[in-house]
Amino acid sequence: MLTKNSPAPLDISVSDQDGNLANLKSQLGHYTVLYFYPKDDTPGCTKEACSFRDAEAEMQKLGVTVIGISPDKPESHQKFQKKYSLSFPLWSDPDHKLAEAFGAWGGK
């Protein structure tokens, strides 16, 4: 798990919603909000995603990129994006490697 002032795990690659490889190297030099969530199209996760969607114009003005990360498959992410008009990337982390590196995966 990351500790204060430790570097982000740049070399952990996952898939984006289109099945392309994605990692944090692409975000170097950019302000980025990563949010981790357990499952597409569930009540709490949908509310969270739609909150980021609704704040997108403000985030863009600030130069901030939002990326949602869950264990769901890219196909599920595509459906979720389409259903709720989500234009920001959703990354698929089925083995929880990225989530665990950030301390964002584990028991309740």
Per annotation, catalytic residue among 45, 69, 90, 98: 45
**pLDDT tens, 7-44?**
888 899 999 999 999 999 999 999 999 999 999 999 99
Task: Based on the residue annotation, tell me whether 50 is a catalytic residue of this protein.
Answer: no
Give how far Cα 8 sits from Cα of 3, 50, 88, Å.
10, 26, 20
**pLDDT tens, 34-70?**
999 999 999 999 999 999 999 999 999 999 999 999 9
Tell me the Cα Rg of the chain.
Answer: 13
pLDDT for residue 13: 95
Domains (ranges, CATH) in the chain? 15-101 (3.40.30.10)
Placement of tokens 């403000």 in the chain: 58
Band the pLDDT of 108: cuts 50, 70, 90. low
The SS3 call for residue 51 is helix
Nearest-angstrom CA–CA distance, 82 and 72: 15
pTM as predicted:
0.92
In this structure, the number of other CB atoms found within 10 A of the CB of residue 78 comes to 18
